[in-house]
Amino acid sequence: MSFKETALEIIREKIRGADWIREPLVGFADASSAHIRGIRSSVADDHLMPEDVLPEAEIIISYFLPFTKAAGECNRDGDFPSQLWADLYNKTNELIAEINEALVSALEEAGVKAAIPAGGFDTDRLLSRWSQRHVAEAAGLGTFGLNNMLITKSGSMGRFGSVVTALKEPCDLPMTEELCTSKAGGKCLACVKRCMTGALSEGGFDRELCYSVCKKAEEELGADVCGKCAVCVPCAVWD
């Protein structure tokens, strides 16, 4: 059995009872692929490389925990993120930490080295030194939408996690199909219309304006989230 099946079973077990999460997705990114090697140019010049996390890196296991439509509804109204949305963010972080630990343990029991990437969010430059979404893109899980979310075959509303491993198994290739309607040349812009600050526009993204909302949410709700542009839009939840 491929470790992908084992990873799915581990994740399913960990999310049992988390009724805001649907069936998870798992992809394998080749640590030496052009997508992974190019992350320093596309995200940050000091973004961690897989070998910075694990010298024997071969495959990055990337997974997506898609949220339910009902979870998004709690953040539909108003011009500030909801307390429930912030709570779901924190609870999902706890699950991601547990899943990562369980994946590493299972691999180590099988004699395969693995490590959890620690690159956090740099609040000065507003960049991540381990971009879960870019890693997930390299693992074939989806393509970026106008709202900077990665749109997967299950939608874009949810959370990603990853573990760097010395596994030697076939990897996935990045998706070639464009999943964002606007980027594909159609009319949507639903995410832009939902952004109450103007941080998101058809022409780009104002990182600082967006972070100002997240920071206020951290002070008031206990999580640096917003996500108004990620919920109740056509690409949020696909069955």
Question: Which residues bind to ligand SF4, rule: CB under 6 A?
Answer: 145-147, 180-182, 188-191, 194-195, 197, 199-200, 210, 213, 226-229, 233-235
- Find the DSSP H helices in 16-118: 34-37, 39-42, 50-53, 69-73, 83-109
Q: Residue 12 carries which side chain, given as an amino acid letter?
A: R
Nearest-angstrom CA–CA distance, 95 and 44: 27
Q: Which two tokens stand for residue 2?
A: 């491929």
Nearest-angstrom CA–CA distance, 166 and 18: 30
Is residue 59 a contact partner of residue 31, using CB atoms and an 8 Å limit?
yes
Beta bridge partners of 159: 65
Q: How many residues does the chain have?
A: 239
- Find the DSSP H helices in 116-206: 132-138, 190-194
Nearest-angstrom CA–CA distance, 142 and 150: 6
Is residue 191 a contact partner of residue 234, using CB atoms and an 8 Å limit?
no
Nearest-angstrom CA–CA distance, 98 and 11: 9
User: Helix, strand, coil: what percent of the chain each, to 5?
Assistant: 35, 15, 45
